[in-house]
Amino acid sequence: MAKVSQRQIVAAVRPSANQPNTTTTPPDFTTNGRQYFAQISGGEVQASVEKVYDGGSSTPSVLPAPIEVGDLTVTRHYDPAIDGTLINAARPLVGKARYDVAVFTLDADLQIIQGRTRVYPNTILVNITEPEGDSSSGGPATFSLTFSCEDVTATS
């Protein structure tokens, strides 16, 4: 397979079926023709380790801790007609709503490449970064959602 560009990595954010912390159905960020978020960061998998030196040993035994998945942030350009409503609905659900975030690799025709998807299931929405303003800029406004992750899985 050829290398891919960053524009071929996108994310879809859908409410999880399980919402234990709220009776409100969280908004679906794949609706209204805006299926994907264009920027993704975080979601790294890591494990802490402890180095234990036995008495008299000059080299340690390495004891791993369980893995942790870092927070995942997705960003897209802000469309007030679509995203404004979604953000308003999600704002009171920060710290409560659970989402499944799927990260896709697209081919040159922007179709999902099978076997190149990772899913962060049952994440908790922990932050909404609303669009910032700058009257001297013509650049697009963006907003971001940050999720605290429990796990990451691969799908085919």
pLDDT digits over 104-127, tens only?
988 888 888 877 789 999 999 999
What class is the 6-47+62-155 domain? mainly beta
Query: How far apart (Å, rounded) are the C-alpha atoms in residues 142 and 156?
Result: 31
Query: How far apart (Å, rounded) are the C-alpha atoms in residues 151 and 66?
Result: 11
| Residue 6 near residue 40, CB atoms below 8 Å | no
pLDDT digits over 9-25, tens only?
899 999 999 888 778 89
Q: Is the confidence at residue 39, as pLDDT, over 90?
A: yes
A 10 A CB-CB count for 79 gives 15
Assessment of whether the complete model's pTM goes beyond 0.85: yes
